[in-house]
A and B are shown apart, each in its own frame.
Chain A
Amino acid sequence: MTGEVAVKPSRHLHSKPLLAPSVGALFLWMVVPLAMTLWFSAEHYNLLSPGKTAFAGWENYRDLLTHRALWVAMGNTLFLVGLVLAITLILGTFFSLLLNQDFPGRNVCRLLVIAPFFVMPTVSALIWKNMLMNPVFGLFAWITRSLGFGTIEFFSSMPMLSIVVIVGWEWTPFAVLILLPALHSLNPEQMEAARLDGAGPIALFRYIELPHLLRPMAVVAMIEMIFFLSLFAEIYVATGGGPGLASTNLAYLIFRDALLGFDVGRASAGGVVAIILANIVSFFLMRVVGRNLEDLR
């Protein structure tokens, strides 16, 4: 981003009509549902008894906060976000370093590694649930049985971990997609100079590559958090939130309250909790991304 922005506009542009459609659409999208969520969250409102709404004040929140389900779902949400984030960042960095080397067929390797990111989430969940992790016919069951370990019931004995594996498989490619070009943009002369000074691969990584990757890593982490906080399709397909509440996250809990339980009031209160959680995350993301726009100040 160089000086081209500095060219002075030769006339005043009618920028408002150009911007208005986008800004207007996003503004409506943001304000209307948000206001409705807040409003519903303070009402007794069940779709099964239409027309009978009443002011509830804090009751929905009290119900929600005193019920175990919310805390289990919060715990699952944070477990999922934290663990998948760690997995995708560590594996993503490692894969990117490897794919950044010069070896035969590295472009093909790169395509193969990023492929899972483009698979629709319902399909990824099904591949893992049916073909790999199925306790009877799945490939993993056959492998563990052949090795004499017996069968592992992935989705009933460790539902959250199974979801973590699926989501980690889908999103590690995303980290590679962002981190590999970032590595690529590293100045080769700098690396060469360090190498001539006798820096080994570990020192190179620690003092040159890792510092260079920190900002793109922060972006990966933040964007992934946004998606993981409302992860839905994988849970919907693979476990249906169960067994019990074992793999219910915040998104699935709200879905259950709203569209299966018809309790608009309580689901909305859950929505408000989700929005607050996301806002805490987004506060940090904005600061990171905002730095990329410094030259517009």
Chain B
Amino acid sequence: MRRIGQTRWGLAVAAWAIALGMFFPILWMFLCSFKTEIAAVAVPPKLFFRPTLENYYAVLQRADYLAFARNSVLVSLGSTLLALALAIPAAYSMAFFPTRRTRDILLWMLSTKMLPAVGVLVPIYLLWRDLGLLDTVFGLILIDSISVLPIVVWMLFSFFREVPAVILEASRMDGATQTEELLHVLLPLCTPGIAATALLSIILCWNEAFWSLNLTTVKAATLTNFTASFSSPEGLFWAKLSAASTLSIAPILIFGWMSQRQMVRGLSFGAVK
């Protein structure tokens, strides 16, 4: 018995060590955001210090930080809504009225995800330039919603399929039209699944860096651009960078923690439930 108890403890210690090790870089940045600029670059690194909120004040007072944050919110919400609007009808039709081609359509949608973004960077850049979409929030919403669309369709499809078709049949017997059936029966039943899908899509769009770095500069630039601008050597204000980064990742981290169990199916394309 004692040996079993010991291995238990050994496992617990090992797991906690790994968990803290993985989380440490984030924690370190978080601590850094409460230091003064001088304390942030102190050698040896300071573990104990007088916390200050001055970095957060400084960051929030910069008008441009708020503009970047606003763009991030607009882009991730806008892309998610657009993707859901396109995906809900498609997932509904494929989940409840599968045809011979449903499987092929689903796989084909997934295959569009395989097209590497860099492969089409040049044409998209030129098209967006000619259409006046470069450096606009709308232009970025279009790209982001298309790039999450396959994942959103797959995830909704897997949630919809768990709704017994009998329930929809019943509402149909009562004379509900297709739209009513979708809006008043299916969507309320699947609210948790749709919420999880929306959260995953928001997370992916919020963290999307390739297109926002390449298609936006000033007006529509998001928080990924803002944080990337700190990479230049002269931008070494670590404490302020930490405060800005903490503000940028905190909401998404919380969303991720909330929906981690459900989003697995979206991320694994249904391979894991």
Contacts and interface: CB of A to CB of B under 8 A. Distances in A.
A18 interface: yes
Given A123-B245, A274-B118, A18 B90 contact: yes
Contacts of B85: 21
A281 interface: yes
Contact of A120 (B89, B96, B227): B227
B52 interface: no
A237 B149 contact: no
A131 B39 CA distance: 12
B191 interface: no
Given A103-B8, A255-B214, A278-B114, A292 B121 contact: no
Interface stretch (A64-72, A188-196, A203-211, A226-234): A226-234
B15 A230 contact: no
**B contact patch SS:** helix
Given A33-B124, A230-B116, A274-B119, A116 B110 contact: no
B172 to A, nearest CB: 6
Nearest to A219: B271
A23 B109 CA distance: 8
A178 B241 CA distance: 32
A153 B113 CA distance: 37
B252 A120 contact: yes
A75 interface: no
Given A103-B12, A118-B253, A271 B223 contact: no
A37 B18 contact: no
Interface stretch (A82-90, A156-164, A168-176): A168-176
Nearest to A280: B114
Contact of B227 (A26, A126, A238, A285): A126
B161 A118 contact: no
A146 B103 contact: no
A118 B203 contact: yes
Nearest to A8: B165
B148 to A, nearest CB: 11
A226 B25 contact: no
Contacts of A173: 22
A172 B255 CA distance: 19
A221 B253 CA distance: 24
Contacts of A33: 119-120, 123-124, 127
Interface string B105-119: 111111111111111
Contact of B89 (A9, A18, A36, A115): A18
Given A4-B161, A127-B28, A275-B119, A292 B43 contact: no
A285 B37 CA distance: 47
B119 A282 contact: no
Q: Which of B107, B256, B272 has the most CB of A within 10 A?
A: B272
A296 B102 contact: yes
B210 A185 contact: no
B153 interface: yes
Contact of A251 (B22, B116, B253, B257): B116
Q: Which 4 A-B pairs have the closest CB atoms?
A: A36-B123, A282-B114, A233-B209, A33-B120
13 contacts: A19-B105, A33-B119, A40-B122, A95-B18, A113-B23, A115-B26, A118-B257, A123-B29, A126-B245, A232-B210, A270-B118, A293-B106, A296-B102
Interface of B: 8, 11-12, 14-16, 18-20, 22-23, 25-26, 28-29, 32, 41, 43-45, 85-87, 89-90, 92-94, 96-99, 102-103, 105-127, 146, 149-150, 153, 161, 163-166, 169, 172, 178, 203, 206-207, 209-210, 213-214, 223-225, 227-228, 230-231, 236, 238, 241-242, 245, 248-249, 252-253, 255-257, 260-261, 263-264, 267-273
Interface of A: 1, 4-5, 7, 9-10, 13-15, 17-19, 21-23, 25-26, 29-30, 32-34, 36-37, 40, 95, 98-99, 101, 103-106, 108-132, 136-137, 139, 142, 146, 169, 172-174, 177-178, 181-182, 185, 215-216, 219-220, 223, 226, 229-230, 232-233, 236-238, 250-251, 254-255, 258-259, 264, 267-268, 270-272, 274-275, 277-279, 281-282, 285-286, 288-290, 292-293, 296-297
